[in-house]
Chains A and B, each alone.
Chain A
């Protein structure tokens, strides 16, 4: 029988400052990138025209760009899409075009340009999306609403399930995941479409469930081991749930990687965000949620978790051995309350 991390007894909480620093770096770089480049919104959100064209021969983006310039379509993005006979042309709505909302004409112009350069019959339009800016704005509103709403509903759920200190820690950890994921999206320059927003929301659900599973165990252990302080209980709980974390993330990452590598170009942004989200969700449940709970309990000690009163008050080696981890390799060092 394979047992990964059975009776593990790592001191996860000790590394919290490291975790904070790593996260801070990711977010700072992300925020910097966001401020300079901004997010790469899909035309669903900005309004505009997208055409995916399949050509018979690999012609490269150069000729297409020249052809588009000829018909007066400047500044369109042209990218290969999966293979070098497949191109995606994106023409976002400029302020001038937004005035007369002439998005449909862009598609026609692209058609003319391709007829002239590639030649009619030498290419096939596989996909067309034409979105008026007005509709894009509405969708932005909806996406924003979805994110706000999911936070709100999650809060209510946590309030019902946990004492507020636990809830707050879980929400902060989840907020961390959302911010980190946005930083990732910005750094990778992933196109933000509605399905990517969907991926972010799924990450919220996933990360939350991960945190909840650890917190469930924390709550259980708090009742079971009356003499341990919170620091030890948190470490114990994370260690006890570690095999589950590793395995579940193994299976989930396996599926997202399969999606990332095999499911095609359209789904790739979604798969990227999911993969990163699952990673950060796991990371935050262990290194962010639990330490934050410790911090909160120290600041506002609660009955339930025995708060900071127990914290550092007793050396763990003086207490009875923790049954779930009978052969603890190294005694947990006594805690010095963090400033």
Chain B
């Protein structure tokens, strides 16, 4: 009894873990709002199995540095810069789980699930990067105009969201802004925009709760609001989110409209660790012309903050200008890691040396084709399972029922394995899954045949079952290992969909070992225990 209970508990744990991995959960998706053309978040409930591009539709692009107009000396660096740029633009795609990754040394892979317009995606990716340095809103001009903007919005009938007590709230204690008092005095109503902005640490910096940034973005894009923003000031979002006391915020910067210098003037940027101060530092070199211009500008802006903007996104927190800088300067990042310094240097280089990209591979699959594939695949799966079921029960009778029961566990475990390890289910993966159902019962067939043989040899029921399992083991392990080995190689060399096939096969093999051997043995043990007087086995 002890062993049976132990086995049942183990199976129970497996099943619970699998169900936990497969419970549908809420996923936030960014989709393009057809009416306004802007992005918005929607929440859907779905089973957490990642579907490949071939099943959900989307675009897969492989890009390389374009060398048709002259050789590019360091393609690895060029691709890293390009990756940084594409990452900065990722919001523009408006897809859930976009993938941007470097493959090998010199190739960039971009995957955009759900995207249907290859031309649009290509134009976003191939656009040349634009880098500029701008001084932040040192006079707090934007903040002063917030009250007016709130007024504009109120007149336009925009209601403030939530019950935030008042305008620019005191998130970090110290700076009680005068706007807070101003707008609080104004009609006691919280402002539609100001109630969503929290004062940042430096002039012109605001923090917006991550879940609200869509709203804020749509507000500041309104023509009437743009009119109310002081002349000479632009708003730019930060590229990275910030985490403050367990909440994520997206920084919004008010910066001067006029850049003090653009990426064209930049020639070099490298990250290093300063030996004396032990700070992370980014050194940069400007052209002669750029150096002259930068010298004049920085002389006027000492103690001001300078936002580094790539493709309209502020990169990192704007550093302070300590003294006049001409053609050689450095950005000190204090205690930040060298990694962050390298990242900033990469941003600067990305803006300075645009890497012309060329598409070497493009695949796009329409969403309806993907949906058809799923439908067909599932249909084939159901028919396949039904046939296997028929064969097994028809031939092995009650033992066949046990094997089919184990097959249910097998399906559950395999799908849970895909979900738990975050592997992607592709169309070939679906085929692999169907195929592996046929293969999965092999272990049971081997075992049952062995038990039959042992019975023919005149062994007692209990002994026949035990020996059947024991003797079949060798063959089962051998056969599974040989299939898993080839699947593993396929995984190593395969691309997207084929990798999905290999993964499904490998997980399927692991799951079938558990279900066909462990689960079926347990079922047999329970059966034998219930019927101690039984002399023949329905096998």
Contact = CB atoms under 8 A, between A and B. Distances in A.
A267 interface: yes
Given A2-B394, A206-B439, A213 B478 contact: yes
The 8 closest A-B pairs by CB, nearest first: A209-B479, A255-B438, A258-B384, A254-B387, A264-B376, A205-B486, A263-B380, A252-B438
A116 interface: no
B427 interface: yes
What DSSP secondary structure best describes chain B's contact surface? helix
B221 interface: no
A251 B442 contact: yes
Interface in B412-467: 427-428, 430-431, 434-435, 437-439, 441-442, 445-446, 449, 452-453, 456-457
A209 B453 contact: no
B486 A202 contact: yes
A259 B380 contact: yes
B535 interface: no
B360 A150 contact: no
A128 B431 contact: no
Interface stretch (B8-16, B170-178, B251-259, B487-495): B487-495
A289 interface: no
A287 interface: no
Interface in A98-112: 101, 104, 107
B397 A244 contact: no
A262 B483 contact: no
A268 B380 CA distance: 12
Contacts of B497: 194-195
Given A132-B361, A262-B379, A267 B368 contact: no
A264 B372 contact: yes
B490 A255 contact: no
* Interface size range on B against A: 35 or more
Interface of B: 54, 62, 68, 118, 359-366, 368-369, 372-373, 376-377, 379-381, 383-384, 387-388, 391-392, 394-395, 397, 427-428, 430-431, 434-435, 437-439, 441-442, 445-446, 449, 452-453, 456-457, 474-475, 478-487, 489-490, 492-495, 497-498, 501-502, 505, 538-539
A52 B369 CA distance: 10
Interface stretch (A20-28, A34-42, A119-127): A119-127
Interface in A206-231: 206, 208-210, 212-213, 216-217
Given A205-B482, A255-B384, 8 more contacts: A1-B397, A204-B486, A205-B486, A209-B478, A209-B483, A255-B388, A257-B387, A267-B430
Contacts of B379: 262-263
Contact of B373 (A149, A202, A266): A266
B390 to A, nearest CB: 8
A153 B485 CA distance: 7
Given A146-B490, A205-B485, A252-B438, A212 B478 contact: yes
A161 B486 contact: no
* Interface size range on A against B: 35 or more
Contacts of B457: 323
Interface of A: 1-4, 6, 52, 101, 104, 107, 124-132, 134-135, 139, 142-143, 145-146, 149-150, 153-154, 157, 161, 194-195, 197-198, 201-202, 204-206, 208-210, 212-213, 216-217, 240-241, 243-244, 247-248, 250-259, 261-264, 266-267, 270-271, 274, 323-324
A323 B459 CA distance: 14
B465 to A, nearest CB: 16
B419 to A, nearest CB: 22
Contacts of B475: 212-213, 216-217
B247 to A, nearest CB: 42
Contact of A130 (B362, B434, B480, B505): B362
Given A206-B439, A251-B441, A263 B118 contact: no
B493 A146 contact: yes
A101 B359 CA distance: 10
Among A154, A250, A253, the one with the most B-chain Cβ atoms within 10 Å of its Cβ is A250
B220 to A, nearest CB: 37
B485 A154 contact: yes
A287 B505 CA distance: 28
A255 B369 contact: no
